[in-house]
Amino acid sequence: MKARTPILAGIGQTRFTRWNDATTPSELQLACEAVLAAADDAGVPVESIDGVASFGGDRTEPPILQAALGLPELRLSAMLWGGGGGGSCGAVQLAAMAVQSGAADCVVVVRSLSQGQTGRYGLYDPNWWHASFTHPFGLLAASALLALTMRRHMHEYGTTSRQMAAFAMACREHAHRNPHALMRDRSLDLETYMASRMIADPFRLFDCCLESNGACAVLVVPWERARDLRRAPVQLLAAVHGASDGWSTGPMGSFNQPLDQFCTTGAAHLAADLYARASISASDLDVAQLYDNFTGIAMLSMEDFGLCGRGESGPFVEGGATRWPTGSIPVNTHGGNLSEAYVHGLTHVAEGVRQIRGSSTCQVPGAQLCLVTGGPGPAPTSALVLGAV
Amino acid sequence: MSYLPHAAPVPDPEPWEAGFWRLCAEHRLCFQRCTACGHVRHPPLPCCPRCRCFESGWIEATDDAELYTYTIVHHALHPSLRDAVPYNAVVVAFPALAWIRLVSNIINCPPEQLRIGMPLRVCWDVAGNGRILPRFEPKPRLRS
């Protein structure tokens, strides 16, 4: 391995709470807690952190974090453009690029949400691009925008609500084993799913991710520092972010895409690039953490990233392929955004690290390769592959 | 009576979008077309993504509008819409114009009668700031 090969050295997270929990600390405090936890997990001094990267318009600006934590030197202050969780893996890519080039030596990726302090996330934002062509028609948020994609997928391929329920229930079962998951004690069966209120048809309440407070942090260092680490190093085999041609010309991207790309997350090209860079194919993966903003949209990610064929995600999840421990490729072994917590998917990267370390609460035995994806729908989106060293 | 309440969000066009709304005020649904290469695009943008020309005009929508996809919104994400739910929000496509698409709503159609592919025709509605909105209704069948 080359000296500057990026290693995921530490992960940290705060306690997760519901979005309207009045006891949650400020976003800045949550960010500090998560960064300290990641440094402690890695066994590196906090003072050695010299870079910060984030995404999704996180409000914790790196110089403020530097001031709050007393970091002596800041060499990277990076933000991946794009809303929502699209950039979760892309922010890790920015950190890795800085480490690989030598621009910085110990970069933390952090995402923090405290909605009691800042207002509920995901409500109407008048500053969206192309807003005049969506908002006056009542398309105000991701649920309705992506419901349009899902409705057409159901029309084309016969995907059903029962199939989306199967994915939601698998994630919930994983969360039952995760002591940090917000829904660890809440069971979900088909009857409860079907009886839940409609949000934006075809998405019911239990198709939608949680709304949470909390922070998560991931620490990236070069391989040459691996011997100083407390934990077994996890290699970042490849990370990519991007958008395909035309994906941004329309709200949430896909509206002007030809039919063969309309019912997708626009990430098929990104997946091919990712696997080529990691020198793997989808069939080599042991486990995957897919950004689950909505059940059905995570299923479209399964198709784009080649876990199943185009249009086959419904039968794929209904047949139990993504359910731990019996499925052929367990997905979201922490419970995901649907059942663990919604910290814009950086928690998926942390769970990927746990799988490669062998420390997940739904551990895939001997997991060597883990796919992690960023939020599907917005542009850019992102993805990465983690591997054992 | 508008399909959505007047307190709902209204069009607030960017400079390069103004032409679309000016034509809507004349009850003309038009899409932006590149003066140099003829490429039709929506939403409007300052420059042609195919030939990078900054000159553009407007072409009338064809009369072959059809329902491309739809949702029924049940959860209001803006206070003004609390009494308006459930309402539909749809994507309309124009096959003869290279399947160009537009977000809108369908009036005069109960939700259970929405069908992907159903023929539509444009009708005009008013937003809270007086802007004219293109909405759609099921196209009446021709008598043979």
pLDDT digits (tens, 9 = 90+) for A207-229: 999 999 999 999 999 999 988 99
Domain that holds residue A43: 6-119+213-228
What residues in chain A have per-residue pLDDT under 50?
A: none
Give the residue from B120, B93, B91 showing the smallest Cα distance to B107: B120
Please report, rounded to a whole number, the percentage of residues in chain B having pLDDT higher than 90. 95
pLDDT confidence of residue B144: 57
Residue B142 has pLDDT above 80, yes or no: no
What would the pLDDT profile of B38-91 be if each residue is shown by its tens digit?
A: 999 999 999 999 999 999 999 999 999 999 999 999 999 999 999 999 999 999
Measured in degrees and rounded to the nearest 5, phi and psi for residue B5 equal -60, 155
Domain that holds residue B107: 62-136
pLDDT confidence of residue A296: 98
pLDDT confidence of residue A253: 58
Give the residue from B127, B140, B143, B133 showing the smallest Cα distance to B63: B140
Residues of A in contact with B89 (CB under 8 A): 137-139, 144, 148
Q: Record the pTM.
A: 0.97
pLDDT confidence of residue A125: 83
Q: CA–CA separation, A15 vs A172, rounded Å?
A: 18
Q: CA–CA separation, A145 vs B70, rounded Å?
A: 9
Q: Are residues A104 and A168 in the same domain?
A: no
The answer to whether residue B17 neighbours chain A at the CB level (below 8 Å) is: yes
Partner residue opposite B89 with nearest CB, options A132, A137, A202? A137
Subunit contact B21:A136, Cβ cutoff 8 A: no
Give the residue from A55, A28, A20, A389 showing the smallest Cα distance to A218: A55
pLDDT confidence of residue B101: 93
pLDDT confidence of residue A254: 62
How many structural domains are present in chain A? 2
What would the pLDDT profile of A227-279 be if each residue is shown by its tens digit?
A: 899 999 999 999 999 988 777 765 555 677 888 888 999 899 999 999 999 99
- Residue A368: other Cβ atoms inside 10 A: 15
pLDDT confidence of residue A252: 56
pLDDT confidence of residue A245: 78
pLDDT confidence of residue A379: 86
Does residue B26 lie within any of the structural domains?
A: yes
Q: Are residues A160 and A293 in the same domain?
A: yes
Q: Are residues B105 and B131 in the same domain?
A: yes
Q: Are residues A152 and A37 in the same domain?
A: no
Domain endpoint, select from A228, A254, A276: A228
Q: CA–CA separation, B78 vs A137, rounded Å?
A: 12
The answer to whether residue A139 neighbours chain B at the CB level (below 8 Å) is: yes
Q: Are residues B69 and B123 in the same domain?
A: yes
Domain endpoint, select from A177, A201, A228: A228
Does residue B141 lie within any of the structural domains?
A: no
Partner residue opposite B70 with nearest CB, options A122, A134, A151? A151
pLDDT confidence of residue A248: 72
Chain A interface, best mutation among B72, B91, B106, B131, by max A CB count within 10 A: B91
Q: Are residues A328 and A309 in the same domain?
A: yes
CA trace torsion B115, B76, A18, A79 (10° rounding): 80
